[in-house]
Each structure stands twice: as structure tokens, then as C-alpha cells.
């Protein structure tokens, strides 16, 4: 079958592809209520309730979660989200001016554009395996103690924060990529409870501040100043890629930097060490950069029923869907902007999407039917 769709340069042709199917979150289960179509009424979800937003659902009303679960495989559009306890899990899209969390979990495996996320409380967990963008991001424990932290942050996807990212008494990990336009601060007020482990690209647009424990196996790129009042560690053996910091401004170390024997590099315009540098700390010897561990599949596994190639892409992205059903085809940039929208029928049509006008970077391909959501990260070289 050969068809032409008049939608941003999509043409049906024969082709091969390879798509990573989003895990169990792609389909909501155990729903006590389901939203389809456009809903403007506010939603409150209590204990024992699971509100599911279907792939065709668009929720525009504000959401308050008081012990229940919201499972989104559709679109949360323009709603303020408050999580007092319970969970929001999303494999669809979220566009929100504000997310407030006092206790509970936010899991994003789709595309989320949140102007401001404010987590202030206890027993909070944030997990991103999709594409997340926002203006500001803050997680802070309500009353620091010497007990282990109850705030958890994990990014295995792509995060772009245009201003500041502040983690206070948070147990954090990054295996994806994080970019901030402003500060990145890892803070601990009580005996270094807060700690952050970085093993992916981290780019800081202004100040990098550490008042906790920060461990990195990558080189962190800092445009502004570097200030360490805590503990910075790295690999205990020489590694490739190398680990450390590239600082455009002044690097100020007031405490421990590689004191445990870590192999770290510090390269700064001005280096002010008023603390302790370890014996294996080098000066401007690290030139490599980490690459993200985001999954991309360039070839076509025999057991896959949906595929997209080449990935990374330059000019044309080829799609084929052997799953039955009608699918919406959306592609999002890291800032949440929709750059492509189309539709297709599985087992009948093959597509080519023009990527020539895309800026280099990471994108997310989302295929949504009434039954499931399929997600793939696409890299444009």
C-alpha cells in the first residue's frame, strides 16, 4: 500500500524500523474511572481510586491526588497538579504551569513540560525516563534530621531546566542527561544526608554548588562558578571518559575534592582551593565528555513489531508499525514543543518523516492508540 498524507512531509513508503516500547506504564490498569475526550472539570483522587486518562483523553482541569493514583497515557493540558500522597504516572504528555508535591511519587516516561515543580515535604520520589522540561525544579525536605533522606530523584531520560535546579537532602542519581540554564545545587544541612550520583551528561548554565556528597563518573560542564562546601568524589581508578569539572568561571573548593583517592580533573579559569584536593586530582587533563545512556536502536530486531530508523537521524526518519490499530504519531522536542503530528493505521502504512529542519538534539516519538502508547527517543545529529 502506498499513500500520501499531507502533514509536514510524511509519505507512506516501504521501510524498516526499530522502536523501543515503553514498559508496563504504557497501558493503565485497575482503573476505577477512565477519562476520554476533553475534560475541563477538576479531578480529586483519593485512597483506593485509580483515575486513568486514555490515549484519546485530554484533561484540562486541575488535579489533586490525596492517596490515589492518576495514570496518564493521554494528555494533561494546562492543569495545576498537586500530589499530597499517592502517585502520578505518565507515559503520555503533561503541560502544566505548576506541580506541587508534599508526599508521593511522580513518574514520567512520556513528555512533560512543567513551568515549575516544587517538592516540599517528605516521602517524595521523582523518576524521569522520558523527556522533561521546565523553568524551575526544586525538591526539599520539610524538616532535615540526621536520619536517612526520604526524598528520591532519578533521571534516566532527558531533562532541560531553563533556570535553577535545587535538591535539598535528596538521594539523587542521573544516568540520562541534565541541562540547566541556571544553577545546579546539591544541598545537605545535616551531616551530608543529601547525595547525588552522576553518570551521565550534566551541563550547568550558571553556578554549580555542592553542600552534600556529589559523586561523578563524567565530566560536568559548568558555565559559571563552582563552589564545593561538601564532598566530591569520582572513580577510584583512571577511567574513560574521564571524570571531573570544566568550569568557565572561578572554582572554589572549601572542603573535600577527591580526598578519597578519586581520579578527578578540575579545569577552571581561576582555581581557588581552600580545602583538600586528593593526590589523584589533575589540572585540565580531562578532554572527554560522557554520552547519554538513553536507549537508541539503529537496527531492526527480529522480534520487534514496531520500528524507527535510522537513529540517530539526519534527514529522514523511517517508520513501520506492524501492531494493529489506529495510531496518533507525535514528535516532541526537549522543551515539550510538538514539532510533528500525524496519524497512521498499523499493519497497513509505512512512513517517512522529514527531519531535515530539526535542530540537533534529543526528541521523543510517541505513538498512541486506544490500547497502548509506544515511545522512542530519537537523536538528530
Instruction: Write the CB contacts of 339 (distance below 8 Å, at least 6 apart in sequence).
Output: 331, 332, 333, 358, 363
Split at pLDDT 50, 70, 90, the class of 292 is: low
Q: What is the CA angle 219-224-222, rounded to 5?
A: 10
Instruction: Compute the mean pLDDT over every residue in the chain, rounded to the nearest whole number.
Output: 83
Residue ranges per domain, the chain?
A: 35-283, 306-380
Residue 320 pLDDT grade (very low, low, confident, very high; cuts 50, 70, 90): confident
Residue 104 has pLDDT above 80, yes or no: yes
pLDDT digits (tens, 9 = 90+) for 239-262: 878 899 999 999 999 999 999 999
What pLDDT, in 10s, does the model give residues 341-368? 888 777 665 778 999 999 888 787 877 7
Average pLDDT over residues 18-46: 76
The answer on pLDDT for 54 being more than 80 is yes
Residue 14 scores a pLDDT above 80 = no
Residue 297 vs residue 319, higher pLDDT: 319
Contact call for residues 57 and 75 (beta carbons, < 8 A): yes
Taking 3-state DSSP, the helix, strand and coil percentages for the chain, each rounded to the nearest 5, stand at 0, 55, 45
More reliable by pLDDT, 146 or 138:
138
Is 306-380 CATH 2.60.40.3080? Answer: yes
Q: Which residue has the higher pLDDT, 40 or 24?
A: 40
Amino acid at each position: 500500500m502506498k499513500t500520501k498524507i499531507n502533514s509536514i512531509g510524511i509519505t507512506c513508503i516501504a521501510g524498516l524500523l526499530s522502536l523501543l516500547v515503553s514498559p508496563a506504564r504504557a497501558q493503565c490498569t485497575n482503573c476505577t474511572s477512565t477519562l476520554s475526550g476533553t475534560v475541563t472539570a477538576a479531578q480529586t483522587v483519593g485512597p483506593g481510586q485509580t483515575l486513568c486518562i486514555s490515549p484519546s483523553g485530554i484533561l484540562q482541569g486541575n488535579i489533586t491526588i490525596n492517596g490515589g493514583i492518576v495514570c496518564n497515557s493521554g494528555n494533561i493540558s494546562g492543569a495545576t497538579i498537586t500530589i499530597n500522597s499517592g502517585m502520578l504516572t505518565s507515559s503520555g504528555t503533561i503541560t502544566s504551569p505548576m506541580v506541587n508535591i508534599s508526599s508521593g511519587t511522580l513518574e514520567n516516561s512520556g513528555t512533560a513540560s512543567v513551568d515549575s515543580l516544587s517538592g516540599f515535604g517528605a516521602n517524595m520520589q521523582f523518576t524521569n525516563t522520558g523527556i522533561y522540561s521546565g523553568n524551575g525544579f526544586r525538591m526539599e525536605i520539610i524538616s532535615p534530621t540526621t536520619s536517612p533522606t526520604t526524598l528520591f530523584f532519578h533521571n534516566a531520560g532527558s531533562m532541560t531546566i531553563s533556570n535553577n535546579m535545587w535538591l535539598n537532602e535528596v538521594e539523587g542519581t542521573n544516568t540520562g542527561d541534565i541541562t540547566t540554564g541556571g544553577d545546579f545545587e546539591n544541598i545537605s544541612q545535616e551531616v551530608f544526608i543529601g547525595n547525588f550520583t552522576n553518570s551521565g551528561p550534566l551541563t550547568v548554565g550558571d553556578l554549580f554548588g555542592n553542600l552534600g556528597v556529589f559523586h561523578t563518573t563524567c565530566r560536568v560542564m559548568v558555565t559559571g562558578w563552582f563552589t564545593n562546601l561538601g564532598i566530591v568524589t569520582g572513580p577510584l581508578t583512571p577511567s574513560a571518559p574521564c571524570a571531573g569539572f570544566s568550569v568557565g568561571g572561578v572554582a572554589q573548593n572549601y572542603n573535600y575534592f577527591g580526598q578519597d583517592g578519586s581520579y578527578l580533573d578540575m579545569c577552571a579559569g581561576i582555581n581557588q582551593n581552600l580545602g583538600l584536593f586528593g593526590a589523584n586530582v589533575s589540572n585540565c587533563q580531562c578532554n572527554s565528555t560522557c554520552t547519554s545512556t538513553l536507549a537508541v536502536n539503529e537496527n531492526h530486531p527480529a522480534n520487534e513489531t514496531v520500528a524507527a530508523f535510522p537513529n540517530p537521524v539526519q534527514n529522514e526518519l523511517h517508520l513501520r508499525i506492524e501492531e494493529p490499530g489506529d495510531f496518533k504519531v507525535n514528535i516532541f522536542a526537549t522543551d515539550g514543543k510538538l514539532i510533528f503530528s500525524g496519524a497512521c493505521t498499523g499493519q497497513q502504512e509505512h512512513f517517512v518523516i522529514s527531519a531535515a529542519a530539526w535542530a540537533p538534539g534529543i526528541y521523543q516519538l510517541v505513538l498512541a492508540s486506544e490500547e497502548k502508547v509506544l515511545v522512542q527517543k530519537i537523536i538528530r545529529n
